[in-house]
Amino acid sequence: MLDIHHVTAGFGVSDPVIADASVTIANGQRLLICGAAGSGKSTLLNIAAGIIPRLVPSPLFSGSVSLHGRPMAQFSKDDLYTAVSIVSQNVEDQLWDLSVEDLIAFPLENRGVDRNLIRARLQALLGEMELDALRGRRVLTLSGGERRMVAIAAALAVAPGLLVLDEPTTGLDPSARLRLVRILNKLASEIPALLVSEQDPASIEDTIDSVMLLAGGRLSPVTEAGEILRLETPWLEAGILPPHRRRSPRKTPPPGRTLLTISGLRTRLARPDGRPVLQDVAFDIRAGEILALIGRNGAGKTTLFQSILGLAKTVSGSIAIGGEPAQDWTAAKRARSIAYLPQNMRRILFNMTVLEEVVFSITAATGTAKDAAAKAKAIATLGKYGLAALADSSPVALSVRQQALLGLACADAAGASIAILDEPLLARDVHGRRMLDLFLDTMLSSGRSVMLISHDLELVDDVASRLLILEEGRITFDGRPDEAWASRAFGVLGWPTPHGIPAGEAA
C-alpha cells in the first residue's frame, strides 16, 4: 500500500531529521514507530501522510513515496487526503470551534458527499466511537482526551485506506486508551492499514502487529510486535524506556511547610447538566511533595489547575499561597509562586530567544536582560538542562522535547515554590526522563514541590509521594500511591493498575 523508499528530510539544520528511511506498509498491517522525543517520528508520519513535502516544504528532501504503487506527487490533494487521514500529536491544530457532529461531518461535506450519506456515516461513527454522550457539545469545550477521540472520528469519516496516528494516547486516560484500542480493533475492516507513533507502546500493543524503532533519524528493521515488546536492550539503544521495564518507586523527603491550601473550592464553570465542574475541592501541597492528580477525561483536572492559577472563576472556597489568601491575586502575581508547564509548551512561549524566555521567568520583564545576575542564572540553568547551545535560538523553532526542557529550565530558574506539570512529554525517553528526574530532585531539595497531572500511571507510581483522585469534580482519594491502587476510589475508575502492580481489591 505505502512505500517510503530511501527518504531523507530536513529543515535547514546541519543534520537531517530523517536519514535514508525506508518503510513499506502492506494492506492489513498495523505498524508502530517508536522513538525518543525529538527523534523525528512526527516528521516521518507527515511524510507518510503526504504533508511533507506537499504542504510543508523540506529543503533537504530526497527519496520517493508512493501509495498503491503510484507516486504521491501524482495525487490531487483531495484524492490524497481521502486516501490517507492523519491525526497529529498537537490535535488542537486540527480542530475548530464547531459542534462535535459538524467537525466529524466536515471532511465529508468538504467533498460534496450527499447529506443523507453524511448523516448515516455520522450516526455510525458516533456509535462505533462511543461518542454519543458528546452530541451537541462544542469541540473546544471538551477535555483534551475527548477532543482527540473526536479528531480520530473525523479522520475515519472518509474511510481512508491508511490511518496515521501521531501519539494517539496523548491526553487519554487509561480507560480511554483501552477504548481507543477496542475501537481500532472493532473498525479493523474499515481501516485497511494503520501507522502509529507512540512513546507508550504498551498501551496500544493489542492493536499493532509490527514495530520499527527510530533513533538518530534512522529506522531499525521491522520486528514482530510480540517479540520486541518484551525486550529491553533494543529500546534502551533507541533512547526509549522499555515498555515492560523493571521499576522502583522514587524516594522523597518527608513533607515540610504548607505551600498551597485549597478549601471548599467551587467553580463558576458548569457541566451541561448544570453541576459545577468542581465542587467543594479541598487539599494542600507541602514542601518536598510530588503530588500527583489523576482522574477521567472531563473530571475537572484542567479546571482545577486553572482555578489555582487564577484562570478560571470560582464562586466559593478559598486559595492560600504561602499562607496568604490569594483569591484577589492576579494571575501574574500567582505565577510568581506557581509555575505552570503545559503539555504543549508553544502555548506559553512568546519571547524572541530561548535565553529571554528564561530571563523573563526570573525577572517577569520582557526584552534583553539588563540584570547581569539574572542573565548569568539563566545561562547556567540552560546549561543544566542541555540547552546552552540554543540560547539565541527562537523558542518556537525548538523540537517538542527541547521546548519541554525549556519549560523545566524556566520553572527551575524562576524559583516558584510550586510547579504544575501537565502531562509532561519527557517521561518515556531515557534523556527526557533523566532531565525530568533532575528537575524533580532540584525542586524537592530546595524545599519546593511539584503537582503532576498525568494519565501515565507508571510515571505517577514512579515519582509521586502523594496522589489525589478527582472524580466528577470531587476529591475521592488523598493518600500514598500504593494505597491508591487498592482503594475503592481507584476501583471506581475501572483502570488497570500500573505495570508490575497487582490489581487490588476495593477497600
What pLDDT does residue 329 have? 93
Q: In this structure, are 289 and 427 located in the same domain?
A: yes
Instruction: Inform me whether the pLDDT recorded for 495 exceeds 70.
Output: yes
Q: In this structure, are 17 and 117 located in the same domain?
A: yes
Instruction: Inform me whether the pLDDT recorded for 327 exceeds 60.
Output: yes
Looking at residue 219, which CATH number applies to its domain? 3.40.50.300
Q: In this structure, are 132 and 34 located in the same domain?
A: yes
Of 194-208, 221-235, 307-321, 342-356, give the lowest mean pLDDT range: 342-356
Assigned domain for 173 exists: yes
Structural domain ending residue among the three candidates 221, 237, 253: 237
Assigned domain for 502 exists: no
Structural domain ending residue among the three candidates 237, 272, 289: 237
Cell 486540527 belongs to residue: 94
d(CA 181, CA 201): 12
Q: What is the pLDDT of residues 401-435, one digit of tens each?
A: 888 899 999 999 999 999 999 988 777 888 889 99
Q: In this structure, are 335 and 202 located in the same domain?
A: no
Q: In this structure, are 51 and 119 located in the same domain?
A: yes
What pLDDT does residue 321 have? 95
Assigned domain for 244 exists: no
Mean pLDDT for the chain? 88
Q: In this structure, are 385 and 324 located in the same domain?
A: yes
Assigned domain for 212 exists: yes
Q: Range of 90's domain?
A: 2-237
Q: In this structure, are 154 and 285 located in the same domain?
A: no
d(CA 163, CA 45): 10
Overall number of domains in the chain: 2
Contact 294, 469 (CB under 8 A): yes
Q: What is the pLDDT of residues 435-452, one digit of tens each?
A: 999 999 999 999 999 999
Pairing of strands 281-286, 258-267: antiparallel
Burial-class residue 272 by CB neighbours within 10 Å (0-12, 13-18, 19+). exposed
Average pLDDT over residues 150-157: 89
What pLDDT does residue 505 have? 44
Alpha helices in 310-399, H assignment, sequence order:
331-335, 354-363, 372-384
Give CA separation, 309 vs 13, 263, 314, in Å.
38, 15, 11
Q: In this structure, are 221 and 268 located in the same domain?
A: no
Structural domain ending residue among the three candidates 237, 252, 284: 237
What pLDDT does residue 212 have? 94
Average pLDDT over residues 350-375: 82
Assigned domain for 422 exists: yes
Assigned domain for 310 exists: yes
Q: In this structure, are 227 and 269 located in the same domain?
A: no
What pLDDT does residue 110 have? 84
Question: What are the backbone dihedrals phi and psi of residue 459, each rounded to the nearest 5 degrees, phi first?
Answer: -60, -45
Q: In this structure, are 106 and 23 located in the same domain?
A: yes
Q: In this structure, are 344 and 439 located in the same domain?
A: yes
Assigned domain for 225 exists: yes
Neighbours of 186 (CB within 10 A): 12
Q: By C-alpha distance, which of 239, 243, 247 is closest to 225?
A: 243
Q: In this structure, are 274 and 421 located in the same domain?
A: yes
What pLDDT does residue 143 have? 78
Assigned domain for 414 exists: yes
